[in-house]
Chain A
Amino acid sequence: MSLFSFLGAIELGLIYGLVGLAVYLSFRVLNFPDLTVDGSFPLGASVCAAAILGGLDPITATLLAILAGAVAGWITAILAVRFGILHLLASILVMIALFSINIRIMGRPNAALLGQTTLFSPFEGLSFLPFDQARILVELVAVALVTFLLARYLNSDQGLALRATGANPRMARAQGIDTERQTLSGMALSNGIVALAGALFAQANGFADVTMGLGTIVVGLAAVIVGETLFRLKGILGALIACLLGSLLYRLVIAFALDVNMLGIEASDLNLVTAVLVGFALLAPKLRARMRKAAR
């Protein structure tokens, strides 16, 4: 594997590691399978790109993207908990709506950020660090910050209420927890983080595209599942770090598979490979149980 594709895999692994954290929050903590992320990832990218092209500074643009993602997640949660629409369906509705909205935001299906000032611009042309490595450093700091803050939140009284909401809503209500409100804020937080990932992706790669969200949920799930299967780390911080490691590992494996030409895998096969991988990982506990039963 070349250094170029290795660094590329690390960079993607970090950015999609954020998606992994967000999917952990919705899928594992809140027990809410959320497909909104396929829309909120490009939403983050679109809002950030449109804001930067509109003359805003990159920090404001990124914060706007996070806010937009949070609103998207909040709407999905409203549809599910207030109006009783099945959570999967509610999230698909918002995801589909976001496709049109993202085009509206950019005014066209994609936007280029080449030559614009991004979060990464201050680190361009440093004498001691090539730009691609400097970008990874910035992303690493961002991801570490989000991971630490999220772990700190989930270990607070409020975060514990969020976890109880997903784990045992009846018990949560008996403890005085407003489970509806917790679901709303948890989903907003989750999609805010996804939008942050989208905004970082757009700024790192210099473009936003309305189709860039396709399969984001599966990649996020892959990170969560690879992480929790291979790295059994204790506690909430451990679980979050496992998601990040899962994401990095997943990207490295894919980069490796693409590098080894004899497998004949092309970039366009990735979605299939990912789906098969995640499918197997989801089945693994059941297969293991069945095998154990058969052995007895």
Chain B
Amino acid sequence: MIQVEGIKLTFGAGTPLETRALRGISLSIEEGQFVTVIGSNGAGKSTLLSVLAGDVAPDEGRIVIDGRDVTRLPAHRRAELVARVFQDPKAGTCEALTIEENMALGIARGSVRRLKPALDPARQSRFRDSLAELGLGLENRLSDPVGLLSGGQRQAVSLLMAALAPMKILLLDEHTAALDPRTADLVLDLTQKIIDRHGLTALMVTHSMRQALDHGSRTLMLHEGKVAFDVAGEARAGLDVPDLLALFRRRQGGELDDDALLTG
């Protein structure tokens, strides 16, 4: 269970560039829930994820993950609770390290790293098995540097890495946005598969209303640092993209000026 209580965050307070990125966001996410988050540029989607991950601490509010108040913990001290896949395929893996070395980094997420060799036959066969399920042929390339992989392959490896160690929530930050449409679909399918198989709690930020409705069990729209609407269950089941727009209009009394949300 993840509780976010009254999170506020302002960047550059007191300067001409002051941005009130989050203006009081509260939500609670049940275990096993897959939440999709939409919103136009600057709505606060990525900032919310950064706050959850611990990259930035909020000015106000509290974040409680599984009963632990993590509001002030830096990213590396809450990694046992939070796994992430970044938007930039280069951000989630180390280019210079091999596929198996990257996965060894992932499998040790949140646990104490010791002096025993990072790679042993047991780990390698586990890595090979999980790579084989991707069907990308990566299981034969364990000792290739990740730098040789395509963006889509790297995102796939990042997802596998996230699933190697236990977590309380998986954060997906527009992780298909940098990929071509076909690869994006592939990675999205894989995401769904991994979340289903491990019964993960997940928060996926996306730029596309279509994606947000096709995946997950709950959809949140952020607007100007606040939750514009939050739909789940039956209320969400029959919704289509135009319905979301109508919903937004009703709540905000305004039009959306970001075309990208409609086309995606």
**Which A positions have Cβ atoms within 8 angstroms of B?**
152-153, 155-161, 163-164, 167-168, 170-179
Contacts and interface: CB of A to CB of B under 8 A. Distances in A.
B21 to A, nearest CB: 19
A171 B93 contact: yes
Contacts of B113: 156-158, 160-161, 177
A153 B119 contact: no
Contacts, number: 93
30 contacts: A152-B117, A155-B117, A155-B118, A156-B115, A156-B116, A157-B108, A157-B116, A159-B118, A161-B105, A163-B97, A163-B101, A164-B97, A168-B90, A168-B91, A171-B93, A171-B94, A172-B105, A173-B75, A173-B79, A174-B53, A174-B76, A174-B79, A174-B109, A175-B106, A176-B76, A176-B80, A176-B108, A177-B79, A178-B76, A179-B76
Given A167-B96, A174-B76, 11 more contacts: A156-B113, A157-B117, A160-B118, A163-B101, A164-B105, A171-B94, A173-B74, A173-B75, A176-B108, A176-B109, A177-B76
Provide the main secondary structure of the chain A interface.
helix
A170 to B, nearest CB: 6
Interface in B118-132: 118-119
A160 B53 CA distance: 22
B175 interface: no
Interface residues of B, number: 33
Contacts of A160: 97, 101, 104-105, 108, 113, 118
A158 B93 CA distance: 17
Interface string B67-107: 00000001111011001101000111111110001001110
Contacts of A161: 105, 108, 113
Which of A158, A159, A161, A174 neighbours the largest number of chain B CB atoms within 10 Å of its CB? A174
Interface in B156-191: none
Interface of B: 53, 74-77, 79-80, 83-84, 86, 90-97, 101, 104-106, 108-111, 113-119
A152 B77 CA distance: 26
Nearest to B115: A156
A232 to B, nearest CB: 13
Contacts of A172: 76, 105
B110 A157 contact: no
Nearest to A180: B76
Contact of A175 (B79, B115, B116, B117): B79
B89 to A, nearest CB: 11
B60 to A, nearest CB: 24
B111 to A, nearest CB: 8
Contacts of A163: 94, 96-97, 101
A236 B93 CA distance: 18
B93 A168 contact: yes
A18 B62 CA distance: 50
Contacts of A167: 94-97
Nearest to B104: A160
B79 A176 contact: yes
A158 B114 contact: yes
Contacts of A152: 117
B84 A168 contact: no
A159 B116 CA distance: 10
Q: Which 9 A-B pairs have the closest CB atoms?
A: A176-B79, A157-B113, A167-B94, A173-B75, A173-B76, A160-B118, A176-B110, A175-B109, A156-B115
B158 to A, nearest CB: 9
A168 B77 CA distance: 17
A144 B105 CA distance: 28
A256 to B, nearest CB: 34
A173 B82 CA distance: 11
B39 to A, nearest CB: 23
Contacts of A157: 104, 108, 113-118
Given A175-B105, A175-B108, A177-B76, A164 B118 contact: no
Contacts of B93: 168, 171
Contacts of A170: 86, 91
